[in-house]
Amino acid sequence: MSYPSEPSVEIPLATRRRRRGTGRVTLADVARLAEVSAQTVSRVLNTPESVPPATLARVRHAIAEAGYVPDRLAGALASGRSRLVAALVPTIGGPVFLETLQSLSQTLGQRGYQLMLGESGYNDADEVQLLENLISRRPDGIVLTRIVQSPMARARLKATGIPVVETWDLTSEPVDMLIGFSHGAVGAQVADFIAGLGRRRPSLVTGDDPRAGQRRRTYAERLAVLGLLDGDAASLPVEQAAAPVTLGAARAAAVRLLDAHPGTDAVFCSTDLAAWGVVTEARERGLRVPDDVAVVGFGDLGFARDLAPALTTIRIDGTAIGEQAARWIMDRAEGHQPAVRTRDIGFTLVRRDSA
């Protein structure tokens, strides 16, 4: 965004050194330079949408001329608000949450909030300590790409009064606010889809994380009901890899699966990256995708439509998850109670060439 140009103003050295000889330019210095009140400068920094455009441009010009950097720590101590929102993801290296994090950061930034990102891993054993470390930093909100499992962790979060949004899953008893979808429903729908394709020897390549486990369970149970397994749900051919599943680990799992079950004609994968590994190994063996073996992924990552063949997958609206979580956090931090605190965002099975 551009602003009207104004003549450069040189701030006298005495003005620059108002704070006990530290050389730090203060908010009051900016106010004098812009010929507005200190309160107006504060509004420009914290709620710029409430300031008339001409005043906004003048104050921002003064901030740039003076080289003023707001003291966020002092502001947080004075207001009781840090304007920081903490988000936890199982792994920073996993691309499936990237869309949600980008949307979360952008929506928060529009109202002057900053995103602090942390990595939780897939193990719930350290959940209490992990969340206590977050709470000690007193963020204005916490966004979790998981459901809090530990009763102690849930109690600690509730006792703080910090707004919490659990995402990417569903539960009947959220800690505070919740936006997600049913992983169990995903597994069942993929099973119905594969049955509708006329496939009779389905299988699974999956990571060992809890959400993939939910999809695995309902996928197997539904396939058993449909009569597509040799026995009960436990008879589903499965190869597992440690989460987050890499391309190499997925291909190695596909090797084991196709060696042990050479007649496999459909593979559901816990991520799109895992599906890419399965497609690669299948084609290396001379198997045609989807004629000989259909492959379904999860996540609809950016590369899914550009693979050859393009990947059939489950699409989650990560942008909507991030936007809603940010709005809930900011509204609560500013004293407003949301009318709705739980939202099932659903999912979409995107059919492409691989199935």
User: In this predicted structure, what is the pLDDT of residue 312?
Assistant: 98
- Residue 312 DSSP label: B
Report the alpha-carbon distance of residue 239 to residue 246 in Å, rounded: 14
Residues 144, 88: contact at Cβ < 8 Å?
yes
C-alpha 50, offset from chain centre? 29
Task: Confirm whether 13-70 and 183-315 share one CATH topology.
Answer: no
Strands of the 114-119 sheet, one edge to the other: 114-119, 84-89, 141-144, 164-167, 177-180, 342-344
pLDDT for 124: 61
Task: Read off the tokens for 263.
Answer: 């007649």
Which residues does 129 contact at the CB level (< 8 Å), separation at least 6? none
pLDDT at position 72 is: 53
> How many angstroms separate the CA atoms of 257 and 203, rounded?
8
| DSSP character at residue 234 | G
CATH of domain 13-70: 1.10.260.40
Within the chain, residue ranges assigned H as helices are 13-16, 27-34, 38-46, 53-66, 72-79, 98-109, 127-135, 151-160, 183-196, 210-225, 247-260, 272-284, 318-333
* Residues 207/271, Cβ–Cβ less than 8 Å: yes
Quote the CA–CA distance of 52 and 42 in Å, as a whole number. Answer: 14
Q: How many CB atoms lie within 10 A of CB 279?
A: 26
Cα 73 from Cα 85, distance rounded (Å)? 14
Q: In the chain, where are the structural domains located?
A: 13-70, 78-181+319-345, 183-315
Tokens of 161: 């009064």
Q: Give dist(CA 148, CA 176) in Å, integer.
A: 11
Does residue 52 have a cis bond before it (omega within 30 degrees)?
no
Half-sphere exposure of 145 (CA within 13 A, CB side): 26
CATH class of 183-315: alpha beta
Residue in 180, 184, 158, 161 with CA at minimum distance from that of residue 170? 180
Instruction: Identify the residue whose tokens are 């994090």.
Output: 101
Length of the chain: 355
Q: Is 14 exposed, middle or buried (0-12, 13-18, 19+ CB in 10 A)?
A: exposed
Fold of 78-181+319-345: Rossmann fold (3.40.50)
Residue 54 half-sphere exposure toward CB, CA atoms < 13 A: 1
Rg (alpha carbons) of the chain, rounded to whole number: 26
Q: What is the pLDDT along the chain (355 residues), one digit of tens a residue?
A: 443 433 444 444 334 344 444 457 888 889 999 999 989 998 888 788 889 999 999 999 998 888 887 665 455 444 455 689 999 888 877 788 999 999 999 999 998 899 988 887 776 666 677 778 778 778 999 999 989 888 888 888 888 889 999 999 999 999 999 999 999 999 999 999 999 999 999 999 999 999 999 999 999 999 999 999 999 999 999 999 998 899 999 999 999 999 999 999 999 999 999 999 999 999 999 999 999 999 999 999 999 999 999 999 999 999 999 999 999 999 998 889 988 999 999 999 999 999 9
